[in-house]
Structure 1
Amino acid sequence: MNHPSIRRRLLFGTGLMVSIVLLLANLLTYQEFQRTLYQTVDDHLMLSVSLLAKSTELEASGVDYEWQEAMKSAGASDVAGVFAFWDLTSGKVTKSPELGGDDLPLIYGKLNEPVKDTITLTDGRRARVVGLLHHPFADQEGIDLAASQGLKLIPGEHPQVVVCALEMESLVARLSELKEHLFWGAVATLAVIWVSIFGISNWCLRPLKEFSAGLLERSENESPGHTNIPRSLPSELVGLANTFNIVLDKVERSRMREKEFALRAAHELRTPVAGIYATLEQSVSRDRPVQDLQARIREALNIADGMRTVLDSLMRLARIRGGFELSIKTMFSPASVVREILDSNSSVMRSRDLRLIADIPEHLPAIQNDVGLFKVVAANLIENSVSHSPPGSEIHVGLVATATELSLVCMNPTKVELEESSIEQWFLPFHRGSVAMDDASGHAGLGLSLAREAADLLGGKLQAEAVDRENILFKFLLSVSGSGHDRRTRQP
């Protein structure tokens, strides 16, 4: 399966965005530069048209074009390009010498309103033109001279058009050169950005590769330690790296617990297997009476039955830990469940002369949760109290239910002197305290561990505390309004 690449995404995404920005920026730059050049040409043409229009004078003899004299004056340098005059009354056309045999188009608009356009000259060159309709001017001397001859000078009767043109080949060449510069500038900018992204991404990802190599080395190490986070790792990835370390530490602790669990389970099963082997070996070592053989076989069966109990507990604990335990929530009466468990342990309590003090109200409300897991918790707490109480002692079992919480309490004296620092060890698998070698009950020390696992699945909390140096109290608290953990049933 192909996974997306951060580097490729950066290169593609940044390249696309930079290309769009450069395209828009270059387009705006080109248009603004083109507008400025055109405006400069138009300004020169307007200046030329204005000077040429002012050189048209109405005299008694007719319209006099003084542009020849104007070209020789100090302002002649301000006349740009080629030009032509049209006398719209007589139809006479006067052209500048530089125009030669070429003609300019007759373009004009309203009086004294210039008209601009782009044309192609006869030689194929493009040019910018400005046309202006105007009236020739008449000075007072000319008006007086015409009056002495019996003439009246009226400029409006002699409309004139002046058209001035300036070739644009140099402008077009500059615009073409600008296009090329903008294009290669954009390409160079994009290339620099891509190379920078490629280098920076390699630089940023190098610490991640180092951290990944450290994780791989840790996975291959039989006794892995904490994976060091490179100082060069980006701060945005430090949280992810810390999370990896935390998860791996939890996995390692879980692996060590499972390893210890397996070793201790093997040790617990090795002892009864050795007992069965020794009993059967003694049975066949020589001829024995039938009664002796039957007694030894019963002894082996008792050991095997204890082994079956241990294996059942191990399998149940493994299923709960692995999430394979079926969790079905139904309405049930916790008081009925506790009474049933107490009844099943009554014979054992009588045989050991244990006195039960039970505080279980008759009308406790029903709750909705997993009745099977609740039985695991209640049965193991009660059986633990029965198994670890000295003969002739008292066992207290209480059940209290409120609108929000259910509390199951078991208190009993123990065979050992209690220490607060060691109480939590009671919930470890196979822990039976300092009297383990003298315990003839056949228990493997899995009950409390199994009960706590089941309590967690129910959404409750199982805890223990020392009432005094001899009595221990186990309390199971379950939120009635909560639904517990939602463990789905999985097939092993």
Structure 2
Amino acid sequence: MTIRNKLTLLFTSIIAALLLAFALVVYFSFSKNRENEYYSSLRHTAINKANLLLDAKVAPSVLQLIYRNAENSLFKEEVAIYDTSFNLLYHDAVDIDQVKETRRMIDEIVQKKEIRFYQGEMQVVGIFYHHHDQDYVITAIANDQGGYVKLRNLKYTLIISFFVAVFLIYIAGHVFSSKALKPVSDMVDKVEEITATNLDLRIDTGKEKDEISELAVTFNEMLDRLEKSFDAQKEFVSNISHELRTPLTAMLTELQVAVEKERSNESYKASIHHAISDVQKLVRLSNSLLDLAKANYDRTEISFKELRLDEVILDARSDALHDRPGYKIDISFEQEIENDDFISVLGNEYLLRVAFKNLMENGCKFSNANEATVSINYSNDKTILRFIDQGLGINETELPHIFESFYRGANKQFAGGNGIGLSLTKKIIELHKGSIGVSSMIDEGTVFTIELSHV
């Protein structure tokens, strides 16, 4: 069942229940009021007839004649008057006697002063009547034909009105739910147009700031992430195929040349060393690609914990010196650390160590003396790291591209690499909600500045 139909049925059911409750209250209220009014009418008629008999001294035969000649004799009031000793003083129709009074009934009326009850569909009232120092008991019975007709007409009117109202409410609910869910229908139609070839399409968020608009905004943000991830994957596959082809082709060529004819041991050793060098390049490229893949994960999929950045930097320095013993990396604190929180962040230790190691190796690699310096500072809400080298510098036209995957500038002739390090570093810093910037001058050196928020 569609949401539109569910909303329509729910809306109709709620209103129908309210209408039914209202109709029942009206019907039973009217029924109770009819009953009470007719009991009052019976009581009034009984007392009037007693006054005619006792005060006006109208002969019983005359009262009975009036009774017999009255219209609607089948439903008219039948009155009987007794004294408290159960002696009948007057009766409209003794031969009919619909109440059939008993001594027990008379005593009950005397005790309770007034009783009311039904006899079939006819209403009966018994009254204790004190008149001129004498006590009397009056009973009256009648059928409220007119009241029952009105009650029946009201019932039919309420039933017909209820079903007509429910039908109209269902139609109105269907129209209302269709109008309310139209933005969702439009959203579904738009989503059906979006495929892998047109991920740039977006859903109209509309002018209203409601839940539907929030859903559209959230969906567009998801599409942004998907488009970015999809483009990154296409670029990644394209670039990695190129990067892997070069060392593999070199290895294949070297080995083919080596087996074409007999050579000296020195020639074979040289070929093996070249192959080993190419394999090492592949290993470094594979490790970099794995790290890049980790950095592309969703932040929620990576474990974070509180870390001291100075400790992570020391570990990264150890890793870099282990791989390149000839490098020199100095660490300096620009101001005294008064509180551990000033250099503590919420992050992933492995990824941050990879990022810092990349910057350290990058600084040493493009420095004539293979030296780099890491400066640690902090502000009220951020830790500031600067990776400084006195190397070749980066051309101003190349600065906007250095964080692109597999991009290598003009200084690639001075040192090997695969163009992944800086791109990987930037992704890691962004994953930690930090920022990275660079400033450089040719032949004077380069400074990479990282800012990460405190815990």
* TM-score calculated relative to the size of structure 2: 0.76
Residue 266 of structure 1, CA deviation: 1.2
Give 2:424's aligned residue.
Answer: 450
CA contact (8 A) 2:126 2:137 kept: no
- Counterpart residue identity of residue 52, structure 1: K
Alpha carbons 2:295, 2:427 under 8 Å: kept: yes
Match in the other structure for 1:182: 158
Preserved CA contact (<8 Å) 1:125 1:169: no
Equivalent-residue separation in structure 2 for 1:298 and 1:103 (angstroms)? 128
- Code of the residue aligned with 2:19 in structure 1: it is L
Whether 1:473 aligns to 2:447 is yes
User: Cα offset for 1:443?
Assistant: 0.4
Q: Does 1:118 find its partner at 2:117?
A: yes
Please tell me whether the aligned partners of residues 56 and 67 of structure 1 are also in contact (alpha carbons under 8 angstroms).
Answer: no
**CA distance in structure 2 between the partners assigned to 1:89 and 1:396 by the alignment:** 125
Note closer, same or farther for the CA distance 1:443–1:46 as it changes in structure 2 (3 Å cut).
Answer: same
Q: Which residue of 1 aligns with 2:360?
A: 382
Q: CA deviation at 1:67?
A: 8.4
Determine if contact 2:394/2:446 at 8 Å carries over to the other structure.
no
Of 399-408 and 314-323, deviating more is 399-408
Alignment-derived partner of residue 277 in structure 1: 252
Q: Distance in 2 between matches of 1:372 and 1:411?
A: 22
Do the aligned partners of residues 6 and 128 (structure 1) sit closer, same or farther apart at CA in structure 2, a change above 3 Å counting? farther
Cα deviations by residue, 1:353-409 (Å, 9 ceiling, x for unpaired): xx8765369x987979755444312221111112233x3697443345799865432
Are 1:101 and 2:96 counterparts?
yes
Task: State the alpha-carbon separation in 1 of the partners of residues 360 and 58 from structure 2.
Answer: 132
Distance in 1 between residues matched to 2:168 and 2:379, nearest whole Å: 72
Distance in 2 (CA, whole Å) between partners of 1:162 and 1:356 is 120
2:377/2:384 contact within 8 Å kept: yes
Code of the aligned partner of 2:425 = A
CA–CA distance in structure 2, aligned partners of residues 358 and 232 of structure 1: 54
Instruction: Tell me which residue corresponds to 2:213.
Output: 238
Q: Is the CA contact (8 Å cut-off) linking 2:98 and 2:141 kept in structure 1?
A: no
Cα 1:267–1:414 change in 2 (3 A) is: farther
Q: Output one character per residue of 1:210-235: Cα deviation in whole Å (capped at 9) or x when no partner.
A: 4223213212x523332343979995
CA distance in 2, matches of 1:329, 1:159: 99
Amino acid at match of 1:255: F
Q: 1:39 to 1:392 in 2, by over 3 A?
A: closer
Deviations along 1:442-463, whole A, 9 cap, x unmatched? 2001112223344456x47351
Separation of aligned partners in 2, 1:89 and 1:247: 95
How far residue 187 of structure 1 moved from its aligned partner, in angstroms, is 3.8
**Which one is further off, 166-175 or 440-449?**
166-175
Q: Give the Å deviation of 1:29.
A: 0.8
Give runs of aligned pairs for residues 241-280 of structure 1, distance below 5 A: 241-280=216-255
1:168 partnered with 2:168: no
- Please tell me whether residue 397 in structure 1 is matched to residue 367 in structure 2: no
- Report the alpha carbon displacement of residue 82 of structure 1 after superposing the two structures with TM: 2.9
Give how far 1:244 is off.
0.8
Name which of 59, 62, 65 aligns with 1:68: 62
The residue aligned with 1:425 is 401
Give, in whole Å, the separation in 2 of the partners of 1:118 and 1:304: 109
Alpha-carbon displacement from aligned partner over 1:280-321 (angstroms, at most 9, x marks no partner): 344455665543443344223312221221111111221332
CA contact (8 A) 1:82 1:96 kept: yes
CA distance in 1, matches of 2:44, 2:63: 17
C-alpha separation in 1, matches of 2:194 and 2:445: 46
Q: Which moved more, 1:378-387 or 1:367-376?
A: 367-376
Secondary structure of 2:402 counterpart:
helix
Unaligned 5+ segments in structure 1 are 136-154, 350-354, 483-492
Instruction: Tell me the equivalent position of 1:22.
Output: 19
Supply the distance in 2 between the matched residues of 1:360 and 1:162 (Cα, whole angstroms).
113
Cα deviations by residue, 1:323-343 (Å, 9 ceiling, x for unpaired) = 687778788845643653564
Distance in structure 2 (CA, Å) of the matches to 1:380 and 1:395: 12
State the shift of 1:259 in Å: 1.2
Contact kept, 8 Å, 2:80 with 2:92, in 1: the verdict is yes
Structure 2: unaligned runs, 5 residues or longer: none
Cα 1:301–1:402 shift into 2, 3 Å: same
Kept in 2, the 8 Å contact 1:126–1:169? The answer is no
Deviation at 1:424, TM superposition (A): 5.1
| Partner deviation per Cα, 1:114-134 (whole Å, 9 max, x = no partner) | 7352343xxx66244453524
CA distance in 1, matches of 2:294, 2:394: 34
Please give the alpha-carbon distance, in whole angstroms, between the structure 2 residues aligned to 1:326 and 1:21: 54
| Cα contact 2:393–2:441 (8 A) shared by 1 | no
The 8 Å contact of residues 34 and 147 in structure 2, kept in 1 or not, is answered as yes
Give the aligned partner of residue 144 of structure 1.
none
User: Against the structure 1 CA distance between its residues 69 and 186, is the aligned structure 2 distance closer, same or farther, given a 3 Å change threshold?
Assistant: closer
Structure-to-structure mapping, 1:83-102, within 5 angstroms: 83-87=79-83, 91-96=87-92, 101-102=96-97
SS in 2 for 1:55: helix
Hey, what does 1:489 align to over in structure 2?
A: none
Instruction: Decide whether aligned partners of structure 1 residues 444 and 194 sit closer, same or farther in structure 2, where only a CA change above 3 A counts.
Output: same
> Would you say 1:411 and 2:388 are equivalent positions?
yes
Q: Aligned in 2, Cα 1:182/1:291: closer, same or farther, shift over 3 Å?
A: same
Q: Counterpart of 1:485? A: none
SS at match of 1:398: strand
CA contact (8 A) 1:337 1:375 kept: yes
The answer to whether residue 51 in structure 2 is matched with residue 51 in structure 1 is no
TM-score of the two chains, using structure 1 as the length reference: 0.71
State the match for 1:312 in structure 2.
287
Report the count of equivalent residues.
435
1:188-227 correspondence to structure 2 within 5 Å:
188-219=164-195, 221-227=196-202
Give me the whole-angstrom Cα distance separating, in 1, the residues matched to 2:86 and 2:189: 96
Mean Cα deviation higher: 231-240 or 242-251:
231-240
| 1:68 partner amino acid | V
Cα RMSD for the two superposed structures? 4.4
Rg larger for: 1
State percent identity of aligned pairs. Answer: 19
